[in-house]
Structure 1
């Protein structure tokens, strides 16, 4: 099977690549240190599975998975992470990833998981999936959109123009967001949502 590895920590990426490359049935055909580079590799080469770190510069592993799903790309995705966050897990499931794995697991386990994924199976680490039971995102897609604009520093007036909503409606959304996240301020709300993996 042909795989690419996207991981922004160079030493870790190199180690995973070398160790997986020693497996008889695994060929590492590319390495990337950010999400954009990973997308370019997947689109430009014959790749069976993309092993993507969840947090990378430019685009996260989840964003890459979401783009590939939207494009109907045949490349399978295994997300590797150290973060047991319910929001990340939900997005991974929605993006239809085939693997959601713990980064600290031995490479032999990763190789085994990749073989199962290549054969059409799915592998989700039980150490990561437990977070799903606790952290269900209470925000609607529109509230998440409003919060994303707040994160980028947009004002109520700017958000109302961007989303074609009245300023009063935007303020109502913000009020709902603060209440649902039990946040005192907009900055608190952004921090809470980011920490949960919902943004």
Structure 2
């Protein structure tokens, strides 16, 4: 993950596209940080509220010199929102405190950049290059769009119906997964 704070000046100036680019990298990390709370709160609602608050506070945010400061703030806001939701739902105090400690102690708050594995990157690029026809076009359209665009718009750009586009993206992902497995890459291990 690169330092998402590169988007901060434009976000602070109210640039919605810069926020969308930040969001593309930050949302999965924020969502992951809430995984311990998922059995007790509506994570989607917490994520949405968190992103709204980050957008509102971004113009006043002062980086601390470390990478991904705004993302770290977002993770903290999400955690606090989840704890507030637990209290609102009257989840027992012991459960709330245990979840808060577990979230604090876990690696879910670590958002420092991780350098990509060059061998994995090479294998992935090779597998994507091997794709052919509609799956290759659909995946290229999906991966090449920042800020993110709706799938319906991407499908129109490559002359496919939405359903056909989504099926081709799924086929492309499956083909890349199979290719990576042949190269000795197990995605379950990479995701850890």
Q: Which is bigger in relative contact order (C-alpha 8 A, separation at least 6)?
A: 2
Provide TM-score, normalisation by structure 2.
0.25
Q: TM-score scaled by structure 1? A: 0.24
Higher helix share: 2
Higher strand proportion, which one? Answer: 1
